[in-house]
Each structure stands twice: as structure tokens, then as C-alpha cells.
């Protein structure tokens, strides 16, 4: 089970909404399977159907987290025109096997949808998320 506080989830949703029609991208940090901090990153992808975190920002963030003794708990992004399920590109680019791949689906009839997955042996395994108040 992965634990994310409601305020962090709200920040991720707000980031996804602000970035429309593009995908958002960012990191949740903390310890183990509990996310305690939100780190939005700049999506430098040249289209609306993918994401690519600014590599300089990502390197600075990962270095800072390492120096603080914190971990990357989740890497999140949004699907502005689709559900919160991994695309074939998501499956191909999942390169952090210990970090949750968190996906926000924006085309859900007014409901915000969020799901988490781990890449394991070429498969994406959906994980249980607990949203805490």
C-alpha cells in the first residue's frame, strides 16, 4: 500500500489542470511508500501527448533529495485526453522500478482519477493507493 496525503493529491490534480492541454510531470518524495512532499517539474516535450521532465530540474531535484536523505516515492504525470492507465509509451519509459508511476486521468466525466503502478518484469502492476486526510 502506498500512502499519499490529500493535500499532495490536490496539488497534483491542480498541476494537471493548469497544464492542460499538455501533460504535467512531477515527483512526490518521502520515505518508503509514503509521499510527504510535492515537486512539480517542467514538461519540455514538444507535443501534447507525452511528457519529458526538464533534465536539469530533475537532476537538481534528485541531488537535493539524496542530500536530504529523502527518496523518490512516485513520478507522476497526467493523461489529458485519457484514463489513468499506462500507455504503451509509459510502459516503455518506466525506468525507476522502485518508484510508483502515478497517472492522473483527466477525461473522466468530471471526476478526477488517479492510479499508481510499478514496472515489474516488463509489466505494469497496479498498486493500492491510500489517500489520507
Determine whether 23 is an active site residue.
Answer: yes
Between the CA of residue 116 and those of 47, 76, 121, 129, what are the distances in Å?
24, 9, 16, 7
The torsion angle over the Cα atoms of residues 58, 64, 65 and 68, rounded to 10 degrees, is: 180
| Paired sense of beta strands 71-79 and 129-132, if any | unpaired
Among 23, 56, 113, 128, which one carries the catalytic annotation?
23
The residues that bridge with 74 in the sheet, in sequence order, are 28, 100
Between the CA of residue 127 and those of 2, 27, 66, 101, 117, what are the distances in Å?
7, 17, 25, 9, 5
Catalytic residues: 23
Amino acid at each position: 500500500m502506498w500512502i499519499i496525503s490529500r493535500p499532495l493529491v490536490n496539488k497534483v490534480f491542480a498541476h494537471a489542470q493548469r497544464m492542460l492541454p499538455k501533460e504535467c510531470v512531477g515527483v512526490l518524495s518521502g520515505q518508503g511508500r509514503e509521499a510527504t512532499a510535492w515537486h512539480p517539474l517542467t514538461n519540455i516535450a514538444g507535443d501534447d501527448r507525452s511528457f519529458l521532465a526538464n533534465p536539469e530540474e530533475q537532476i537538481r531535484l534528485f541531488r537535493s533529495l539524496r542530500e536530504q536523505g529523502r527518496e523518490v516515492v512516485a513520478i507522476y504525470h497526467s493523461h489529458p485526453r485519457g484514463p489513468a492507465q499506462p500507455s504503451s509509451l509509459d510502459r516503455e519509459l518506466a525506468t525507476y522500478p522502485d518508484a510508483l508511476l502515478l497517472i492522473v486521468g483527466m477525461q473522466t466525466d468530471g471526476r478526477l482519477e488517479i492510479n499508481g503502478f510499478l514496472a515489474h518484469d516488463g509489466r505494469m502492476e497496479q498498486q493500492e493507493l491510500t489517500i489520507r486526510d
